[in-house]
Amino acid sequence: MEQIHFNQLKETLNHKTLPNGLKVYILEKKDFNKTYATFTTHYGSVDNHFVPLGKQEKVKVPDGIAHFLEHKLFEKEHGDVFQDFSKQGASANAFTTFNRTAYLFSTTGDVEKNLTTLIDFVQAPYFTEKTVEKEKGIIGQEIRMYDDNPDWRVYFGLIANMYKNHPVAIDIAGTVESIAKITKDDLYECYNTFYHPSNMLLFIVGPVDAEKIMDLVEKNQAGKDYKDQPPIDRFFEEEPAEPANRKEVLHMPVQTPKCYMGYKEKRPQRSGKDLLVRELSINLLLEMMLGKSTKNYEKLYEEGLIDPSFSFDYTEEMGFGFSMIGGDTTDPDTFAQRISEMVNEFKQQSLNEEDLERARKKKIGSFLRALNSPEFIANQFTRYEFNEMNLFDVIPTFEELTVKQLQDALNDHFQDSQLTVCQVKKKQS
């Protein structure tokens, strides 16, 4: 077992890659009551076009299938695994993102038993036509719930604006129509392709003994018969650099309109250190442009264009990336215009050293705060690892970012040609 020490943070991460390819990470947090574990496959809603394991031809699967599979994996011949966890004093859950599906539990009781349950249930699919049909009603209501949520709609509406071909534009849960087509055979095909241990990561954080836990996981995996699997062939059509659609207006029963805008990344192909530098740079620049301590934020607030719901973020993964700025606003058109003016004005000036240092400190402090949460550590570590980055490099990378790197990112990312807007306006009835 390898031990990685992060001295400044006073943390030690234990790691091992098992013979079947499964990556296991354990972080001891002796003061906590709770242990939190996530078992994650590098497979999400964007992986809808691939060559299934053991086949030659690529297939395209129905929208929403990764999320559907996540729901169905909990059901077994003996019943629902949720119940097994709660009998063992743990609460279980799962979530599907664009490129990950994570299964998790938290417990203050028997960690070893619950961890075994987690690993075993994810590694033993049981899909039948009957249970697949039953789930369609439940997921149908989940989709309707999100359809009524204006924040969700405007966020995903903006992403849909950006992408012409990339499946990130498709709703993670699919649509009522697309999930109607899903069969148990589709689920098995996706499962067999994407749930091999070599495509997965297990993260455990809590008051545990790392050696004991590692031993348990190793024995568990050694008892299962996994054949080596070749790398997965995933297909993505070529994506134009510019946004597919410049502007979209959704009409919903709301009192306060919403406006989200974003810049589509032209070459979202980074990974590892490059990606880390990129993400942190753009997030730092957004803070300097529009953070609460800036002149711009003050102006927008005074002009009545923003309220406390205002936020911004930059994210990038293999094949897609974008910055996003938005919130509730009484005047969504002026909002979009003012922000884009402010971004352009910021680009004209040289970076102010004092503002940069302040934003850097703020970001470092926020990251330390995030590390208070075991959930954040496990989920983000996994996301970073799948993109060949290390979560614990964030602080040193923030400390090392140079003005030159920031200036380059600023000029490269924030271009008018990449800008797109999505708004929710009041439905006139």
Partner 1 sequence: MTLVDHHVADLPGMTLHTIETTKYKTTSLILQIKSPITEEEVTKRALLPYVLQSGTERYPSSKELRAALDSLYGATLGVDLSKKGEYQIITLRMDVANEKFLSDNTPLLDRAFALLSQVLLKPAKQGEAFLPRIVQKEKRSLKQQIESIYDDKMRYANKRLIEEMFEEEPYRFNVYGSKQEVDPITPETLYDYYQKVIKEDEIHLYAVGDVSKDALQELAKKHFEFPQDRTEPKRTSPSGKQRVDEVKEIFEEQEVQQGKLHMGYRTYITYSDPEYLALQVFNGVFGGFSHSKLFMNVREKESLAYYAASRFESHKGIIFVMSGIETNNYEKTVKIINEQLEEVRNGNITDGELEQTKAMIRNQILETVDDSTGLVEVLYHEVVSRHKRTIEEWLEGIQNVTKEQVRDVSQKIQLDTIYFLKGRGE
- Residues in contact with partner 1, shown as a per-residue x/- string from 29 to 58 under the rule CB under 8 A: x-xxxx------------------------
Read off φ and ψ for residue 225, nearest 5 degrees.
Answer: -95, 85
Which residue lies nearer to partner 1 by CB, 56 or 429? 429
CB of residue 134 to partner 1, shortest distance in Å = 6
Which residue lies nearer to partner 1 by CB, 349 or 372? 372
Catalytic annotation, pick one of 2, 70, 316, 345: 70
Which residue lies nearer to partner 1 by CB, 137 or 231? 137
130 binds partner 1 (CB under 8 A): no
Name the residue with tokens 């979009």: 336
4 binds partner 1 (CB under 8 A): no
Which residue lies nearer to partner 1 by CB, 33 or 411? 33
Rounded CA-CA distance 373/392 in Å is 14
124 binds partner 1 (CB under 8 A): no
- Binder of partner 1 out of 46, 139, 201, 406 (CB under 8 A): 139
Rounded CA-CA distance 182/327 in Å is 35
Per the CB < 8 A criterion, the answer to whether 65 and 184 are in contact is: no
Point out which span in 57-65, 79-87, 196-204, 240-248 binds partner 1 (CB under 8 A).
79-87
Three-state DSSP state, 90: strand
| Closest to 121 measured CA to CA, from 159, 72, 154 | 72
| Closest to 62 measured CA to CA, from 139, 140, 198, 172 | 172
369 binds partner 1 (CB under 8 A): yes
Is 70 known to be catalytic? yes
Question: Structure tokens of 40?
Answer: 């994650």
Read off φ and ψ for residue 109, nearest 5 degrees.
Answer: -110, -125
- Binder of partner 1 out of 24, 46, 90, 409 (CB under 8 A): 90
Rounded CA-CA distance 229/2 in Å is 25
Per the CB < 8 A criterion, the answer to whether 401 and 360 are in contact is: yes
- Residues in contact with partner 1, shown as a per-residue x/- string from 319 to 338 under the rule CB under 8 A: ---------x-x--------
Residues 379-398 that bind partner 1 (CB under 8 A): none
428 binds partner 1 (CB under 8 A): no
Residues 253-272 that bind partner 1 (CB under 8 A): 253-256
Point out which span in 122-130, 194-202, 269-277, 358-366 binds partner 1 (CB under 8 A).
358-366
Q: Which helix (H) or strand (E) holds 245?
A: none
User: Which residues have CB under 8 Å from 174's CB, separation 6+?
Assistant: 62, 63, 64, 65, 67, 68, 143
Cβ burial of 100 (10 Å; 0-12, 13-18, 19+) is buried
The alpha carbon of 305 is separated from its chain's Cα centroid by a whole number of angstroms, namely 29
Cα dist. 308→294, 298, 315 in Å?
A: 15, 12, 21
- Residues in contact with partner 1, shown as a per-residue x/- string from 213 to 252 under the rule CB under 8 A: ---------------------------------------x
- Residues in contact with partner 1, shown as a per-residue x/- string from 277 to 306 under the rule CB under 8 A: --------------xxxxx-xx--xx-x--
5 binds partner 1 (CB under 8 A): no
Identify residue 177 by its one-letter amino acid code.
Answer: E
Active site residues: 70
